[in-house]
Chains A and B, each alone.
Chain A
Amino acid sequence: MSALFDILASAGLWAAVLRIATPLILGTIGALLSERAGVLNLGIEGIMTFGAMVGWLTVYNGADLWVGVLAAALGGAMFGLLHSALTVTLGLSQHVSGLGVTLFASSFAYYVFRLMVPVAGTPPTITPFQPLDIPGLSSLPFFGPAFFNQTAPTYLAIGLAIALAYVIARTPVGLAIRMTGENPHAAEAQGVNPMAVRYGAVIAGSALMGVGGAFLTLSAFNSFFPTMVQGRGWICIALVVFASWRPERALLGAILFALFDAFQLRLQTVLNGVVPYQIFLMIPYLLSIVALAVMARRARVPQALMQPYRRGER
């Protein structure tokens, strides 16, 4: 029991939590933004992979790390444009289009990577983001190493989640997005163009997903593997439901999931040999299913989610 407590009380755990949470936060708020406008984006897994690749490749070719982040955002936005063209303009099934985007984006990412980077025994690396030293805060005992020793993209992700929460709840454009996700006909009747809102939300959301992917190659690790997203995109889709489509809860949800993950990693070393480690690998997913079942019962799904909007038709 004291072993469990020791884990929770270690600054290392909490530092890891924020690190693990960052791509989840970005991916989740990206998916959430798009779903709030009524478009499910299952392209997320592939878009994150593509973002991870493009961000890394840009930096590998000599650009600044932030230029890499920007490139990942643009790459994500590009696939967002594709997804919206298919689902908004053509009104195709959002599931099918999203899965198509995922398959295409991940394969395309690997293809470009192979084209640009020769096969080598050890994968090539870049110099990733370094932890930011925040004067006054980083040197605090416990809290410093736990919460204020992160890289810049982590703070960016948290900031973006809070900003998105504000935009959705408090601004006219946020209301337009919500209305479009609830009833695009009503939005149209009030002079809001639901097509434009959906395009905007999907593209911006995909850009966030791309940045989420890039965090993996530019901050968490320093090289690119085609399989490195490892289902994080799907976790984000579940986290959106867990969060009841609210960015501030998405932030907490991502951190909670990351806590499970970081916790099980450490638990493995403590209980090694007693329990097979695969059990621990399972824990975060199991717990997220439980949490989802509890939370999602009260969730209010955007009423027009997954319904294509066609002008003049009801």
Chain B
Amino acid sequence: MMTETVLDISNVSKRFGDNLANDDISLSLAKGEIVALLGENGAGKTTLMSILFGHYVPDTGSVSVMGEALPPGKPRAAIRAGIGMVHQHFSLAPNLTVLENVMTGTENLWSLGSNVSAGRKKLVEISQRFGLKVDPDARLGDLSVGEQQRVEILKALYNDARILVLDEPTAVLTKLEAETLFSTLKDMAAQGLSLIFISHKLDEVMATADRIVVLRGGKLVAERRAGDTSKAELAELMVGRKVTRPLREASTPGEIVLEAAGVTVRSGGVDRLKAVDFRLRAGEVLGIIGVSGNGQAVLAQLLSGTIGRTAGDLVLFGKGVGDLTVADAVANGIGRIPEDRNRDGAIGEMAIWENAVLERLPEFSKAGLVDRKAGIGFAQKIIDGFDVRGGTPTSRIRLLSGGNMQKLILGRNLIEHPKILLAAQPARGLDEGAVAAVHERILEARRAGTAVLLISEDLDEVMALADRIQAIVGGRLSPSVNAEDVDAQRLGLMMAGEWEDTTHAV
């Protein structure tokens, strides 16, 4: 059963400009098998899958499905051959219904009517068979991210996919949704489907895949059966060297730089933050842990000056500040790493140097004109100092990978030694190597005396970096606990809202 080869990628190479994205890659997939394609951002995983799906034409090499060669560059042919693709950024239309999303392009375009009832029947049948529950007539935009992904998978199955490719399927999911997804995937493999999923998360790869293929720098560097390898080995293969996430060392924090007392923020008729208290000291990391959507975003907005308080006091460097404005934040040296770097942290179509100098334009102006040369120099300094790869100061920032864009944003904030750094989910979506780099920089800033407010939903991250931890639940902040005094279990309870109001550690 496991020996029947359904997909054969042989000697595929693809070059973009100077960048060899795929270098002579060969890979095969058996019926009922789950293969994980593991690699850092920019290793060539997505390029390879785009070639498989006909979005790109390979320079050399070929793809065959069930023994038949696939014409290159033809998504339609790939769909017909039974390849289904579940993109990381969903290919769905929010204003159309689930059924409409699924049925697009599945019927003869020039037929005078659409057989909607047959389509609905088929969709319901598939969704029952694979346990992917969804309402065919719901408007797609009304669904949760997890449900939307289900639709994306159903779309592929509706097209009679026998081979399913999932591009970083868990990047947008909550932990619980991810677990449900992987049990569904295993079920599909048991029913004879073959799956490839792209990931850089070691845990899920080890737990789900039969076989793991590691890509690095466009080359296939290793292939392991899941039983014969370990997380440590995979991490090393993926990055090409041993990676260890840094740990904070002991230090004595300085004076209080930022204090919130009973701060409430009301917006849209709801209290997003409810009388929160915290104190942030120079040279320490205060971790705010919690499941996304519990008020973290509002807290970050409050401290960046993009939203005002409803009640309570904010004290900055010993002085009450009322409401912060963005200009205050910049003037007072509050560095900010926004949660959604693409939306709030960078302007994709603008050059790296422009993104680097935007919030300090006065420093980079001469006689009312932007000093381009100085700006480029500044950007180059960040690129060199923070190991940003994949771009020059004049290239558009959107061309950078997530990890490199994050390093640039970090550099933009840290290069002038801010007194306070507000880091919201700084390692989200980054691969192992980039996570380690980002953590190292944060700890370096801490050593230099920067007060860091770290907002995160990653337990490991918070335990590794934070001196003190407060949980955020439903807009309320728990009292702070010392990182030394808690374990993961206790933090888990705190994230669920279980804390005793008496334990204070300041």
B79 touches A186 (CB 8 A): no
In the complex, chain B residues whose CB is within 8 Å of the CB of A176: 104-105, 109
Partner of A190, one of B89, B105, B111: B105
Which of A74-82, A165-173, A287-295 is the contact stretch? A165-173
Which residue of the partner chain B has the closest CB to A178?
A: B96
In the complex, chain B residues whose CB is within 8 Å of the CB of A192: 104-105, 109
A172 touches B94 (CB 8 A): no
Q: How far is the CA of A311 from the CA of B92 in the complex (A)?
A: 16
Q: Which of B66-93 contact A (CB under 8 A)?
A: 75-76, 79, 85, 87, 89-93
Give the number of residues in B that approach A within 8 Å (Cβ atoms). Answer: 32
B93 touches A178 (CB 8 A): yes
Q: Which of A268-314 contact B (CB under 8 A)?
A: 300, 302-303, 311-312, 314
Dominant SS among interface residues on chain B = loop
Q: How far is the CA of A159 from the CA of B100 in the complex (A)?
A: 26
A302 touches B91 (CB 8 A): no
With an 8 A cutoff between CB atoms, is A31 at the interface?
no
A182 touches B91 (CB 8 A): no
With an 8 A cutoff between CB atoms, is A185 at the interface?
yes
Dominant SS among interface residues on chain A = helix
With an 8 A cutoff between CB atoms, is B103 at the interface?
yes
In the complex, chain A residues whose CB is within 8 Å of the CB of B95: 182, 300, 302-303
Range of interface residues on A (Cβ < 8 Å) = 20 to 34
Give the distance to chain A from B437, nearest Cβ to Cβ, in Å: 25
In the complex, chain A residues whose CB is within 8 Å of the CB of B325: none
Partner of A172, one of B56, B79, B101, B114: B114
Q: How far is the CA of A182 from the CA of B100 in the complex (A)?
A: 12
In the complex, chain A residues whose CB is within 8 Å of the CB of B155: 190
With an 8 A cutoff between CB atoms, is B113 at the interface?
yes
Interface centre among A182, A189, A192 (most CB of B within 10 A): A189
B114 touches A175 (CB 8 A): yes
In the complex, chain A residues whose CB is within 8 Å of the CB of B50: 312
Q: Which of B386-419 contact A (CB under 8 A)?
A: none
Q: How far is the CA of A94 from the CA of B254 in the complex (A)?
A: 57
Q: How far is the CA of A182 from the CA of B94 in the complex (A)?
A: 8
In the complex, chain A residues whose CB is within 8 Å of the CB of B489: none
Contact with B along A168-203 (1 / 0, CB 8 A): 001111111011001101111111100000000000
Q: Beyond A182-B93, A183-B92, A312-B56, is A173–B100 a contact (Cβ under 8 Å)?
A: no
A171 touches B112 (CB 8 A): yes
With an 8 A cutoff between CB atoms, is B106 at the interface?
yes
Partner of A185, one of B56, B91, B112, B113: B91
Interface centre among A183, A186, A188, A312 (most CB of B within 10 A): A186
B110 touches A186 (CB 8 A): no
Q: How far is the CA of A193 from the CA of B94 in the complex (A)?
A: 19
Q: How far is the CA of A192 from the CA of B107 in the complex (A)?
A: 11
Give the distance to chain A from B169, nearest Cβ to Cβ, in Å: 15
Partner of A189, one of B87, B106, B113, B114: B87
In the complex, chain B residues whose CB is within 8 Å of the CB of A185: 91
With an 8 A cutoff between CB atoms, is B108 at the interface?
yes
Q: How far is the CA of A190 from the CA of B108 in the complex (A)?
A: 13
B93 touches A303 (CB 8 A): yes
Partner of A186, one of B55, B104, B107, B108: B104
Q: How far is the CA of A175 from the CA of B110 in the complex (A)?
A: 11
In the complex, chain A residues whose CB is within 8 Å of the CB of B100: 175, 178-179
Give the distance to chain B from A10, nearest Cβ to Cβ, in Å: 41
Give the distance to chain A from B209, nearest Cβ to Cβ, in Å: 24
B105 touches A187 (CB 8 A): yes
Which residue of the partner chain A has the closest CB to B107?
A: A172
B112 touches A190 (CB 8 A): no
Partner of A171, one of B94, B96, B105, B114: B114
Which residue of the partner chain A has the closest CB to B88?
A: A314
Give the distance to chain A from B59, nearest Cβ to Cβ, in Å: 15
In the complex, chain A residues whose CB is within 8 Å of the CB of B104: 175-176, 179, 186-187, 190, 192
Q: Beyond A171-B114, A302-B95, is A190–B56 a contact (Cβ under 8 Å)?
A: no
Q: Which of A140-183 contact B (CB under 8 A)?
A: 170-176, 178-179, 182-183
In the complex, chain A residues whose CB is within 8 Å of the CB of B75: 188-189, 191
Q: Beyond A189-B75, A303-B94, is A172–B55 a contact (Cβ under 8 Å)?
A: no
Give the distance to chain A from B107, nearest Cβ to Cβ, in Å: 4
Q: Beyond A178-B100, A191-B79, A192-B105, is A186–B93 a contact (Cβ under 8 Å)?
A: yes
Which residue of the partner chain B has the closest CB to A196?
A: B109
A186 touches B112 (CB 8 A): no
A183 touches B93 (CB 8 A): yes
Q: How far is the CA of A92 from the CA of B240 in the complex (A)?
A: 43
Q: Which of B263-283 contact A (CB under 8 A)?
A: none
Partner of B101, one of A173, A186, A312: A186
Q: Which of A31-54 contact B (CB under 8 A)?
A: none
In the complex, chain A residues whose CB is within 8 Å of the CB of B159: 190
Which residue of the partner chain A has the closest CB to B103?
A: A175
13 further A-B pairs in the complex, CB-CB below 8 A; given A186-B101, A186-B104, A312-B50: A172-B107, A173-B110, A176-B105, A178-B96, A179-B93, A179-B105, A182-B93, A187-B105, A189-B75, A192-B109, A302-B95, A311-B55, A314-B89
Please name the 7 residue pairs, one residue from A and one from B, whose CB atoms are nearest each other, closest first. Answer: A182-B93, A190-B105, A191-B76, A186-B91, A189-B91, A172-B107, A192-B105
What are 27 A-B residue pairs whose CB atoms fall within 8 Å in the complex?
A170-B113, A171-B114, A172-B106, A175-B96, A176-B105, A176-B109, A179-B96, A179-B104, A182-B96, A186-B101, A187-B104, A187-B105, A188-B91, A189-B87, A190-B91, A190-B106, A190-B155, A191-B75, A191-B76, A192-B104, A192-B105, A303-B93, A303-B95, A311-B55, A312-B50, A312-B55, A312-B56
